[in-house]
Amino acid sequence: MRYSHIAIPDDAIPTAREPVFQHLLTTYASETNKTVTVWEAVPDALLDFKPHPRVNTIRTILVHQILSERRFFAQFVGLSEPSAESLLPPGEAPATADYVERYVQFAKARLPQLAEATTDWWMTEMPFFGGLRRQRIWTFWRRVLHTCHHRTQVQTWLRMADVPVVPPIYGPSGDIRWSEDDPTYSVEAAGRG
């Protein structure tokens, strides 16, 4: 995939103290970049759009992503995080770019902390919702999946508002195709390799 804007380029990803965990840093940066790509597709006029009365607006999803990511990394992983009161952009109705800027700022600040983590640190059990205890690495991956879920919500709301999501996140889409694309929509494609 070639993106016109990459919030966290590969050369900005720190080297993990223990190489076996480098993929966590690379994945977190990559998923942040994908989320930013979707968020940047949101016109300011659609931030308060929701396709059904019982679902959240796009703005609410963006706010939740910023707040809940801070909570996961502070409470359940144990990273040093900014105060919750300082997370959201100021004003009654911030622009999409304001949410993107904050989201990227906080993601970049987490990377050096994650890079310093050791096996013992990653395997340490921490409190989780409902009185459960989970290893930090489990919570990290849970967070990545949670982020994917909310990114897909925003992408779906944009589709329902007839707004293209460009560039596509995981290869060719209904909006973008290219000559080298090779999506797996057939048994033949699935059988390669």
Residue with the larger pLDDT of the pair 124 and 171: 124
Instruction: For residue 178, name the pLDDT band (cuts at 50, 70, 90).
Output: low
- Nearest CA among 2, 8, 26, 9 for reference residue 172: 2
Query: Model-level pTM greater than 0.75?
Result: yes
Phi, psi of 83 (to 5 degrees): -65, 150
Q: What is the pLDDT of residue 190?
A: 87
Mean pLDDT of 142-169: 89
- pLDDT for residue 53: 96
pLDDT(184) > 80: no
Cα–Cα distance measured from residue 25 to residue 110, given in angstroms and rounded to the nearest whole number: 9
Instruction: Flag whether pLDDT at 137 surpasses 70.
Output: yes
pLDDT at 1 over 60: no
Return the SS3 of 90.
coil
Q: pLDDT class for 2, splitting at 50, 70, 90?
A: low
CB atoms within 10 A of CB 101: 15
Q: Is the pLDDT of residue 176 over 70?
A: no
Residue with the larger pLDDT of the pair 175 and 91 = 91
Quick one: pLDDT at residue 164? Answer: 82
| Domains by residue range for the chain, with CATH | 14-162 (1.20.120.450)
- 77-134 pLDDT, tens digit per residue, is 999 999 999 999 999 999 999 999 999 999 999 999 999 999 999 999 999 999 999 9
Query: What per-residue confidence (pLDDT) applies to 42?
Result: 96
